[in-house]
Structure 1
């Protein structure tokens, strides 16, 4: 039994995507929505102590945190070559990218919170939103410089592409991508992969973002 605890088009998409790249479809996908009471229920808390997704039940164990899940999948199923094990010449950059993905995703999360979840009388701070938007743009600028070939690592597609690919789905709702031609081309390549397309077909259309782009709110 493989069971994925999942929010559609959330960070758990990384796990669904890599599973599809490996030719694995979960036996069950338990779907949640941000803010639902079910995310504080015993079902999710029993597999993810902070009530966060993703969590994956596989091989008789339960594991949470997307980077840990992807690392586990690559180590327990090394045949596709999506990990970079100790001793691999790309190991250090691979680990950097896996960590950098969460640095970037934390900024997306803060912008999601401010733009989508805060409601009157709680209003987002324009200063905080502007700062996080600029920080997100800085991470995109850094990533633009890291994309030198078809994928993030010279030897080909890896779990790092799945980790950072999710961010490139979300970031354009907050940062204009015109200054980042490499990232635009890179997104086109990874989102055209059969594994990504299979995962997206399972997801269906995204209904998380109601606008095509979210501007920084004005001071008024």
Structure 2
């Protein structure tokens, strides 16, 4: 039995998308993005009180990078994964974990725009800097994707899933339009049935807007 413990529009979408791509049977337990994640029951699965947590046939896993590596090793080592000794192994690992570089900036902006509900609680400087850092990540992806359909020459992999989910989150704070290779790559990813299956269901969205400006706009 595989059970994913998931909050919509968080990093756990990365694991949800991967599970859909793998086509293995699994269940999803959805949590609100609140203090439920600090309950003793959830902390037994993920000691920092964060999603995702994965019950994998009685084994408790957390951290998206680790979950990605374990799932690919068990279910798609030569497909979505790149096994040890594979010529693309190092590049695969690099891009799988680059997703967290993007996600840390998106998480900081999620805190500023969503968790801190009043403008006086927010830092315009932090918001502007973090949005600019996301754009730096977009630039790195644009360079990598020039002349490529996917992040690896060998084709679509879990590296695209990991980074693609991070870009899905980052798009709420920094637009992809100025980066044509990135934009086209993301369009290919977001057209995949497994990506669509991992999107939030009606009434479960964390974000209330489709785009958040980098700093508060004074009331007129």
TM-score (norm 1): 0.91
Separation (CA, whole Å) in 2 of partners of 1:197 and 1:216: 27
1:81 deviates by 1.3
1:115 deviates by 0.9
- Whether the aligned pair in 2 keeps the contact of 1:126 and 1:219 (CA below 8 Å) is no
TM-score (norm 2): 0.91
Instruction: Give 1:42-191 correspondences, 5 Å limit.
Output: 42-78=40-76, 81-120=79-118, 123-147=121-145, 148-191=147-190
Q: Which residue of 1 aligns with 2:21?
A: 21
- Whether the aligned pair in 1 keeps the contact of 2:116 and 2:122 (CA below 8 Å) is yes
- Whether the aligned pair in 2 keeps the contact of 1:22 and 1:80 (CA below 8 Å) is no
- Whether the aligned pair in 1 keeps the contact of 2:106 and 2:134 (CA below 8 Å) is yes
Separation (CA, whole Å) in 1 of partners of 2:163 and 2:116: 26
Separation (CA, whole Å) in 1 of partners of 2:63 and 2:40: 18
Separation (CA, whole Å) in 2 of partners of 1:31 and 1:80: 30
Q: Which moved more, 1:90-99 or 1:109-118?
A: 90-99
1:60 deviates by 2.3
1:204 aligns with 2:201: yes
Separation (CA, whole Å) in 1 of partners of 2:128 and 2:197: 35
Q: Which residue of 2 aligns with 1:6?
A: 6
Aligned residues: 216
Separation (CA, whole Å) in 1 of partners of 2:89 and 2:26: 28
- Extract unaligned runs of 5+ from structure 2: none
1:197 deviates by 2.6
- Extract unaligned runs of 5+ from structure 1: none
Q: Secondary structure at the match of 2:5?
A: strand
1:217 aligns with 2:215: yes
1:122 deviates by 5.4
Q: Secondary structure at the match of 1:30?
A: strand
Provide closer, same or farther for how the CA distance between residues 218 and 56 of structure 1 changes in structure 2, counting only shifts above 3 A. closer
